[in-house]
Amino acid sequence: MHLMKVDPRALKENPDRSRQTKSTPQADALLLATIKAVGIVQPPVVAPQTDGGNGFIIDRGHRRVKQAIAAGLEEIEVLVDEAANDNGAMRSMVENIAREQLNPVDQWRAIERLIALGWTEEAIAVALALPVRQIKKLRLLANVLPAMLDHMAKGDMPSEQQLRTIAAADFEEQKEVWKVQKPKKGDPQVSWFAVANGLSKKRMHARDASFGEDLAQAYGIQWGEDLFAPADEDSRYTTNVEGFLGAQQEWMTSNLPKRGIIADVNSWGQVVLPPKAERVHGKPGKTDGTAMYLDREGKVQTVHFRLPEPKKAKGADDAEGGDDAIVMAKPRPDVTRKGVEMIGDLRTDALHEALARAPIEDDTLMALLVFALAGRNISVQSGASDDVYGFARMERHAVGLVGEDGKLTFDMDTLRVAARSALIDVLSARENRTNSGIVARLAGDTIGADGFLPTMGTEEFLSCLSRQALERSCKDTPVLPRARVKDTRAALVEHFREARFVHLTALFAPTAAEVATWRSKSAVVADEDADMTTGDAEDGSGDAAALDDVDLDAIDEAYRVAAE
């Protein structure tokens, strides 16, 4: 047997070859790509023609010769063997029957040898016509315990996901699990599920990290690559959970905003705010606090909160009824208290944005100032007391309207800016002591603040609705109510991703009944003021005497009750 170079087109096919069935196009494409990349690794075997010709007949390697011709090779090396009396039929049959596909372990070892010779993963993938990802998967076997590799080489392989989990663990952990899970005598199979389950660890993903590479190195974080993740996202991860959370915690400490705190979470994964703090669902104010915390996935989350001012203690005399009173079960309202508070925050933000940007006529602007000063959150002092509320905020808007000589000097543009800014500071629809009451809603309806309300088709808000209110929200939508409330809510959330939804109770316009009640209460107070003024004129008493007889706290409470 000797080696020689011949033109592959001059070789004759053996009619008695064992493999008569055509190979698959995929197999031919793989062989062609390999020949183009590295040439013919194993030369075909040929023998002289026995029919008197001077050529050579192919003994073994028909596919290699065919694909060499397809690759455009002018010459190939062949091994010339002696002609067999059976025309090579037996040798061809033995070769094809005895051939066996390399198992993944042997494939990996061959790949590692090529890597050691300077081949790149990309070049190996091109030569073998395999995806680069498949080469990376095979190279994961380098991180598998040798005892496990020996068993895998026998043909008992784990799934790709199980292999990924096993390779992510260190050898000591693999050794401990293998002692328990290795096959017993007479049992050739291994429960790879049990092996992977014993080695599985919680993963923290790089895409959820707020810190940079500097903190990652400081905390000893090494990123691995999840080959099963979608191609369009950062697939890096680490099993160093303690280091990941420590880096996140240090990042929060370094990036804590003014009036910010690092909060804990409860057993349900919800943030724990300071005592009596109210969560702000709309735009935070300048005096609002910020709470940063880590959720169950290790992500940094941020919420805003508002601390209430101290309230006067109320007496216990307001409680009525005795032990014999019958307590009736109250039906759940359409919108929970949290939902009402969210509406108040969203209304206020929309109102302020409308006051800053919406077109407002000058006469309307003056009427709104009257509304603002009539709000329940406004206290006006006559100078009899040193207790002043809100004057510092209002004064800064007035300063721009006064010249250095102490005279009013301004143009209409300056006045409009000052008026809008004053209205923004005064009007509020929040469900706390700053609530301006119905006047804020009337103002918002007048200037079209409904158009500035954000969409409320979110999981957070829709979870505040009762079943009946949720099903009413399905009206005019293709969403049909489901048997379970959470399924209806999930369908609405998905629908409103592309559409704006504002709940009817969030609209600014008050009902006619609310306006009538407000007007009647205001008329009663006006009549009482007129009667008081008339009495004072008749008996000669002054304003100070009249005020001594008036319970200002009672009037303020009456306003609050009327608006509620």
Instruction: Say yes or no: 498 and 537 in one domain.
Output: no
Query: From the CA atom positions of the chain, what is the Rg in Å?
Result: 41
Confidence of residue 542 (pLDDT cuts 50, 70, 90): very low
pLDDT score at 18: 54
Q: How many residues does the chain have?
A: 564
Domain-located, residue 71: yes
Residues 6+ apart with CB under 8 A from 541: 535
Confidence of residue 479 (pLDDT cuts 50, 70, 90): confident
**Phi-psi label, residue 62: left if phi above 0, alpha if psi -120 to 50, beta otherwise:** alpha
Q: Which helix H or strand E contains 114, and what residues bound it?
A: helix 104-116
- Taking CA atoms, 452 is separated from 52, 351, 353, 437, in Å, by 96, 8, 7, 19
The count of other CB atoms within 10 Å of the CB of residue 155 is 10
30 phi/psi in degrees, rounded to 5: -65, -45
Confidence of residue 24 (pLDDT cuts 50, 70, 90): confident
Domain-located, residue 470: yes
Is 546 a residue whose pLDDT tops 70?
A: no
Is 316 a residue whose pLDDT tops 60?
A: no
The fraction of the chain above a pLDDT of 70, given in percent, is: 77
DSSP string covering 354-389: HHHHS---HHHHHHHHHHHHTSTT-----SSSS---
Is 415 a residue whose pLDDT tops 90?
A: no
Rounded CA-CA distance 130/461 in Å is 50
pLDDT score at 531: 58
Instruction: Say yes or no: 280 and 234 in one domain.
Output: no
Domain-located, residue 160: no
Confidence of residue 536 (pLDDT cuts 50, 70, 90): very low
Task: Give me the number of domains the chain comprises.
Answer: 5
pLDDT score at 291: 93
Instruction: Say yes or no: 87 and 19 in one domain.
Output: yes
pLDDT score at 549: 42
Is 211 a residue whose pLDDT tops 90?
A: yes
Instruction: Say yes or no: 503 and 537 in one domain.
Output: no
Last residue of a domain, one of 269, 290, 313: 313
Reduce the DSSP state of residue 52 to 3 states and report it. Answer: coil
Confidence of residue 228 (pLDDT cuts 50, 70, 90): low
Instruction: Say yes or no: 6 and 87 in one domain.
Output: yes
CATH code assigned at 39: 3.90.1530.10
Q: Which of 62-71, 300-309, 325-334, 466-475 has the lowest mean pLDDT?
A: 325-334
Instruction: Say yes or no: 15 and 88 in one domain.
Output: yes
pLDDT score at 534: 53
Q: Which residue has the higher pLDDT, 463 or 362?
A: 463
Q: Which of 195-199, 523-527, 529-533 has the lowest mean pLDDT?
A: 529-533
Instruction: Say yes or no: 94 and 14 in one domain.
Output: yes
Parallel, antiparallel or unpaired: strands 260-262 and 289-294: parallel
Q: Which residues constitute the domain of residue 538?
A: 513-563
- Reported for 489-494, long-range contacts at CB under 8 A and 24+ positions apart, including other chains, are 489/459, 489/462, 489/463, 489/465, 490/459, 492/457, 492/462, 493/457, 493/458, 493/459, 493/462
Rounded CA-CA distance 528/125 in Å is 93
Reduce the DSSP state of residue 33 to 3 states and report it. Answer: helix
CB neighbour class for 35 (10 Å; exposed up to 12, middle 13-18, buried from 19): buried
pLDDT score at 258: 85
Q: And the tokens for 116? A: 């050691």
pLDDT score at 555: 41
Domain-located, residue 173: no
Q: What is the 3-state secondary structure (H, E, C) of 332-349?
A: CCCECHHHHHHHHHHHHH
Confidence of residue 38 (pLDDT cuts 50, 70, 90): confident
Instruction: Say yes or no: 479 and 547 in one domain.
Output: no
Cα dihedral 543→549→555→557 (10° resolution): 140
Confidence of residue 475 (pLDDT cuts 50, 70, 90): confident
CA 442, 444, 450, 455 dihedral sign is negative
Residue with tokens 């990652």: 216
The count of other CB atoms within 10 Å of the CB of residue 441 is 22
Rounded CA-CA distance 388/150 in Å is 85
Q: Which residues pair with 265 in a beta bridge?
A: 271
Reduce the DSSP state of residue 79 to 3 states and report it. Answer: strand
pLDDT score at 543: 40
Amino acid at 183: P
Q: Which of 179-188, 291-300, 530-539 has the lowest mean pLDDT?
A: 530-539
Domain-located, residue 242: yes
Parallel, antiparallel or unpaired: strands 2-6 and 76-80: antiparallel
The fraction of the chain above a pLDDT of 90, given in percent, is: 11
What is the overall mean pLDDT for the chain? 78
Parallel, antiparallel or unpaired: strands 76-80 and 260-262: unpaired
| Residue environment code for 484-511, b if the CB has 16+ CB neighbours within 10 A, otherwise e | ebeebbebbbebbeeeebbbeebbbebe
Instruction: Say yes or no: 495 and 554 in one domain.
Output: no
Domain-located, residue 476: yes
**Average of pLDDT values for 498-507?**
89
pLDDT, tens only, 162-181: 888 888 888 888 888 888 88
Last residue of a domain, one of 510, 531, 548: 510
354, 449 contact by CB (below 8 A) = yes
Is 456 a residue whose pLDDT tops 80?
A: yes
Domain-located, residue 129: no
Is 292 a residue whose pLDDT tops 90?
A: yes
pLDDT score at 210: 94
Domain-located, residue 87: yes
Instruction: Count CA atoms closer than 13 A to 299's CA, side-chain side.
Output: 7
pLDDT score at 101: 64
Instruction: Say yes or no: 49 and 66 in one domain.
Output: yes
Instruction: Say yes or no: 27 and 86 in one domain.
Output: yes
Last residue of a domain, one of 294, 313, 332: 313
Confidence of residue 208 (pLDDT cuts 50, 70, 90): very high
Confidence of residue 409 (pLDDT cuts 50, 70, 90): low
Parallel, antiparallel or unpaired: strands 236-238 and 76-80: unpaired
Is 489 a residue whose pLDDT tops 80?
A: yes
CB neighbour class for 211 (10 Å; exposed up to 12, middle 13-18, buried from 19): buried
pLDDT score at 304: 93
Q: What is the 3-state secondary structure (H, E, C) of 232-245?
A: CCCCEEECCHHHHH
Instruction: Say yes or no: 231 and 280 in one domain.
Output: no
